Amino acid sequence: MNGKNLATEMNEDMQLMVDELKSKGITPGLAVLLVGENPASQTYVKNKEKRANSLGFYSIVEKYSEEISEKELLKEIHRFNEDDRIHGILVQLPLPKQINPESVLNAVNPEKDVDGFHPVNMGKLLIGEPDKIACTPYGIMKLLERYQIEIAGKTAVIIGRSNIVGKPMAQLLLMNDATVTIAHSKTNHLAEIARTADILVVAIGRGHFVTKEFIKPGSVVIDVGMNRDEKGKLIGDVKADEVAEIAGYLTPVPGGVGPMTITMLLFQTIISAQRTI
Ligand code: NAP
């Protein structure tokens, strides 16, 4: 399942949406707040900025020192909450230890929470009335839709229960009438449970953890993991070469879920901007 191609397709549609907004005097605005010098975060932020600029967004990347206090960072978020040119605010995680990530995520105006991490947006998703949705699971739903994967009545297993991937993913599949199991590090008989899945989503953060023993023949396997091997090469959580022989569909790493995450971030910013009309 090619996320890069779908991201390119969606980009064309989003360009039309941006052009239409601009013809009405509105430029979608995205503010990205980056604290410290984490190299992976810097790369993610650079990619987001590049994609936002290529669509003609009003794009701001604010960089703060590793030592910034929580109070100062919250003040910055409030500044962007008040700024009418900004329709989406993203605080790049992880944050340094003096800052409580929950306080920071809670401070973002839910209307501008294009990452979908605010408790209001998480709660709306949980009650089946989603507004802003966590971008990685949202991107996975777009991939499933694009490849016309039937979800209703299927058995879905998600390995990983993080707030940004596993939990919202489970809820989205449940809303679409899958029968959902969430597995995690304390799950017994993991491979056996995974083998029941028509749709298996793996979001663990351990390179090549999922082998062919985890796979039901013909199933859909979504690899969210982004890990570096000993040579520094980007690899997924799934041992792709052997799993590809059994699975019906598999997302590659890179070029699968990753490009869709940024796409959904930009998409949700455009939707926020549309609402200001
Ligand atoms: P996370 O917050 O560290 O959560 C990892 C989850 O995996 C936890 O729920 C953990 O279980 C579970 N887990 C860890 N070891 C396990 C094991 N041996 N067996 C079963 N479950 C295990 O990670 P995350 O933020 O969800 O990210 C997961 C991966 O996806 C990472 O590689 C990350 O880089 C990648 N990611 C990619 C994108 C993208 O755009 N492609 C976006 C987000 C994340 P416990 O809860 O029991 O500890």
pLDDT digits (tens, 9 = 90+) for 197-249: 999 999 999 999 999 999 999 999 999 999 999 999 999 999 999 999 999 99
Quick one: which H or E segment has residue 259?
A: helix 257-274
Is 265 part of any domain?
no
- Under 8 Å between Cβ of 193 and 156: no
Cα gap 80→3, rounded to integer Å = 31
Same domain, 228 and 139: yes
Same domain, yes or no: 250 and 189: yes
* Number of structural domains the chain divides into: 2
Cα 21 to ligand 1 centre (Å) = 37
Q: Is residue 16 part of a domain?
A: no
- Which residues, listed in sequence order, are joined to residue 249 by a DSSP beta bridge? 220
Provide the β-strand partners of residue 238.
210
What's residue 246's pLDDT?
98
The per-residue pLDDT for 240 is 98
Give CA–CA dist 91/107, Å, rounded: 10
What pLDDT is attached to residue 209? 98
Pocket test of ligand 1: the residue of 224, 262, 264 to mutate, having most ligand atoms within 8 Å of its CB, is: 224
- Same domain flag for 221 and 152: yes
Rounded CA-CA distance 256/211 in Å is: 18
Helix (H) / strand (E) element for 33: namely strand 29-35
Residue 253's nearest CA partner among 243, 270, 238, 268 is 238
Residue 188's pLDDT is what? 98
> Which residue has 């570096």 as its token pair?
228
What DSSP designation does 3 have? H
User: Do 147 and 243 share a domain, yes or no?
Assistant: yes
Report the distance separating Cα 31 and Cα 46, nearest Å: 12
Going from the Cα of 269 to the center of ligand 1, the distance in angstroms, rounded, reads 26
Helices 135-146, 257-274: axis angle to 10 degrees equals: 100
- Looking at the domain assignment, is residue 130 inside a domain? no
pLDDT, tens only, 259-274: 999 999 999 999 999 9
The pLDDT, as a whole number, for residue 212 is 98
How confident is the model over 68-78, as pLDDT tens digits?
Answer: 999 999 999 99
Prior bond to 254 cis, omega within 30? yes
Q: What pLDDT, on the 0 to 100 scale, is given for residue 254?
A: 96
CATH of the domain at 55: 3.40.50.10860
**pLDDT in 10s for each residue of the chain, 277 residues:** 999 999 999 999 999 999 999 999 999 999 999 999 999 999 999 999 999 999 999 999 999 999 999 999 999 999 999 999 999 999 999 999 999 999 999 999 999 999 999 999 999 999 999 999 999 999 999 999 999 999 999 999 999 999 999 999 999 999 999 999 999 999 999 999 999 999 999 999 999 999 999 999 999 999 999 999 999 999 999 999 999 999 999 999 999 999 999 999 999 999 999 999 9
Q: What is the pLDDT of residue 272?
A: 98
Output the domain CATH number for residue 252.
3.40.50.720
- Pocket residues: Cβ below 6 A from ligand 1: 136, 159-162, 164-166, 183-187, 190, 203-206, 224-227, 257-258, 261
237 C-alpha to ligand 1 centroid (Å): 9
The yes-or-no answer on residue 131 being catalytic is no
115 classed as catalytic: yes
**204 shares a domain with 161:** yes
Q: What was the pLDDT predicted at 190?
A: 98
Q: What's the Cα-to-Cα distance from 99 to each of 17, 104, 260, rounded to whole Å? A: 36, 8, 29
Distances (CA, A) of 131 to 16, 21, 111, 126: 22, 20, 9, 11
Of all atoms in ligand 1, which is nearest to the CA of residue 205?
Answer: 32
214: tokens are 């985890």
Q: Is 48 a catalytic residue?
A: yes
Contact yes or no for 235/190 (Cβ under 8 A): no
Structural domain harbouring 209: 135-257
d(CA 150, CA 143): 12
Tokens encoding 77: 């978020």
Q: How far is CA 158 from CA 16, 171, 212, 266, 268, in A?
A: 35, 11, 16, 25, 24
Residue 122 is assigned to a structural domain of this protein: no
Q: Which pLDDT value is given to residue 59?
A: 97
